[in-house]
Amino acid sequence: MKKYRCKKKGILWTLVLSLILIMLSGCGETPPEVVSETPLSQQDATSQQPPEAKPEATSEPAEPSPESGPTFVERNGNLRVEGTQLVNEAGQPVQLKGVSSHEVASFGYLVTYNALKQMRDDWNLTVFRIAMYTEDATGYIRNPGVKDIVTRIIDDCIDLGIYVIIDWHILYDNTPLKYKDQAVEFFSEMSARYGDYPNIIYEICNEPNGADTTWEGHIKPYAEEVIPAIRKNDPDNIIIVGTPTWSQDVDIAADDPLPYDNVMYALHFYAGSHGQFLRDKIDYALSKGLPIFVSEWGSCLNTGDGPTFHEESMEWIKFLDERNISYVNWSFSTKQEGASILRKQIDVNAKWTDVDLTEGGLFAKYAIKGTKDTVLFADGFETKTFGHGKWKRSNDNTTYETENPYKGNYAASIGKDGFLERAVTTVPYENLKLHLAYTFVNGKPGDVVRIEWFDGANYNLVTELPLAEEWTELDIALPDSASGVHDFSVRITAAVADEDTRLLVDEIWLAAEKK
């Protein structure tokens, strides 16, 4: 059953309850008291706080859960722009947080109903972005059948009550004018098909780029043809417009904005490459009254690869949260690069856990979830994690165990004086806790697991875990001094007597709280 297959101007939940009351009153009995679920509240929808006041935004699904009550879209309804703020149907500020697909022709198979539902329920995801590439080999221009994948995902998002961004993902085409006619045709079709649903957000040009691509000469003229085509069918759903230099130059757009309502402007960043200079552009644009939507961000380098930059990413997330700016993480894929959320070979239709996510995926999950608790890394070794550079290991004494894993198909197997070591900054975090499961094969009395942490100069012993002949799962609190360390690492060593003894470890993760 579709939960919100109705015109966007009404709130279905309230109408259903009203009909029930009418039917009950017609039966000659006093109806039971019913509390209707309205869009957030019945506060004055005309009183909008100014952007500089930074009113608290709705970003997490409130109780009851989506299974038993109205979904996020049902509670918030048709979105619009007031000043620099994205607001809901009641006029209250709303902040969307979610993830983007990678190239949907190649990675759309990962975006199942179950995957979206898990992220909605477990991550508090409220928006999903469908990246439909245009010019590449599998893009829409050469492969118009990709539209079927797009509509399948849109339908799932509508059913699940989350917002969905239809992204015309220009990249290699540089200027959006190159395929303007195709874009007009595509968005005309999408708006005719979905314009009555409040879930829909249109992103009409992902990342205009190239030295010759300008706002006034290319992007604005393009938008002035695509936006009217959408508005013929959909008068008021949100439209996101890309900005020059891979959607970074929002300051240029702020000096020459488009003359349309409910239009927002894209800002994209990658925390390992983009810092204060880009945040300054955002603040300038906001000061000029330009509404910003971060429709793509990553915790790695702007190449889409590299390590997770925790400290820099945290600074960005705090900045966006303080300004109620919505953001979408790149990308929900298994591509072997730092920006990918999923490890390879994950079953998206099964119930996945933190050990199935990459380090960047973990950061994205907890940023979206909005809780203080987060997981900095998590490894179940199902994809032979320490063979891909995340773990430093003693090569001669550390291998894989396939016969006796704690969960899944593999565990790490460590021989005499062998070790596993994992580095990650703890600068934005406190109250660190190491979780692991371990056991011994051919263990002897006196054998222990040595747990240490590195402060940038020295190793510090945390504890020694005793011999365990069965799998033992536990949490180990790290000292306060382990917080705020740029060069932090944790090391697990097999302090055993015999060469034939093996220490098996599995389901390892480091958890912390955001400062």
Q: Is 296 a catalytic residue?
A: yes
Beta carbons within 8 Å of 497's beta carbon, 6+ residues apart? 416, 444, 446, 447
Which pair of tokens denotes residue 44?
């004055």
Question: Of the residues 89, 103, 203, 296, which is catalytic?
Answer: 296
Distances in whole angstroms, Cα of residue 381 to Cα of each of 192, 258, 361, 410: 47, 50, 16, 6
- Name the amino acid, one letter, at 286: L
359-369 vs 310-322: helix crossing angle, rounded to 10 = 20
Which pair of tokens denotes residue 227?
């936006």
Beta carbons within 8 Å of 280's beta carbon, 6+ residues apart? none
Integer Cα distance of 216 and 352 in angstroms? 46
The alpha carbon of residue 498 and the mean position of all alpha carbons in its chain are separated, in whole angstroms, by: 46
Contact call for residues 291 and 95 (beta carbons, < 8 A): no
Contact call for residues 164 and 127 (beta carbons, < 8 A): yes
Question: Of the residues 89, 103, 203, 207, which is catalytic?
Answer: 207
Contact call for residues 398 and 421 (beta carbons, < 8 A): no
DSSP state of 89: T
Strand partners, 169: 133
Integer Cα distance of 120 and 115 in angstroms? 9
Q: Is 207 a catalytic residue?
A: yes
Where in the sequence numbering do the catalytic residues fall? 207, 296
